[in-house]
Structure 1
Amino acid sequence: METERYELTFHHAGTDPDPSEDDVVVVHRTSATGPGGNPVYSDDTGIVQAEISSGGEIRMLATGSHQALRRPTATRLLD
């Protein structure tokens, strides 16, 4: 069975490693395939998109020309 949802956690740059300051985004599997041939996952807004391999490797995908991509500091499988 393919993974349908992940929780991605992003730490605020320049702050102490306080988990209460982190941004958490849930992404769900889409019908798209990324440049590496793996499924693309997106949040409900479509702004956060990531290609995630079956081995858990993550490649963040730009959805706008001025977007600064950050790698998640943690990833959790939801289902």
Structure 2
Amino acid sequence: MDTLRYELVFSEGTDSGSSAGDVVTVERTSATGPGGHPVYTDPTGIIRAEISDQGEVRVLATGGHQDPAQGVRARPLPDAEERS
């Protein structure tokens, strides 16, 4: 079964090995991205990302003049049934 939720980790662009950065939880949508993989979104719809079955992340622009982030990591989260 496919992962329904991920944490996206946006690094601060440092090469020091620090884990500092922003973390956003996204959930799977019914949409498919340009690479044919599922699209995930945060509750606001501002963050949209295509995530492959290998965990590769492609952040998708959701507005004009937006520069999609690079170097974003995806951490799978347990589904609601698994947390019970």
TM-score when normalising by structure 1: 0.83
Distance 1:31 1:2, change over 3 A: same
Aligned sequence identity (%): 55
Aligned residues: 78
Structure 2: how far apart are the matches of 1:35 and 1:62?
A: 12
**Cα deviation code 1:27-49 (max 9, x no counterpart):** 10000011111100000110111
In the TM superposition, residue 67 of structure 1 has moved relative to its aligned partner by 1.1
| Deviation larger for 67-76 or 27-36 | 67-76
Structural RMSD (CA): 2.0
How far has the Cα of 1:11 moved from its partner?
2.0
4+ long deviations beyond 6 Å: none
1:7 touches 1:25 (CA, 8 Å); kept in 2? yes
1:66 aligned to 2:68?
Answer: no
1:57 paired residue number: 56
Matched-pair contact (CA < 8 Å) for 2:41–2:49: yes
Separation of aligned partners in 1, 2:42 and 2:10: 14
Provide structure 2 residue ranges, at least 5 long, that are not aligned to the other structure.
79-84
1:71 CA drift (Å): 2.4
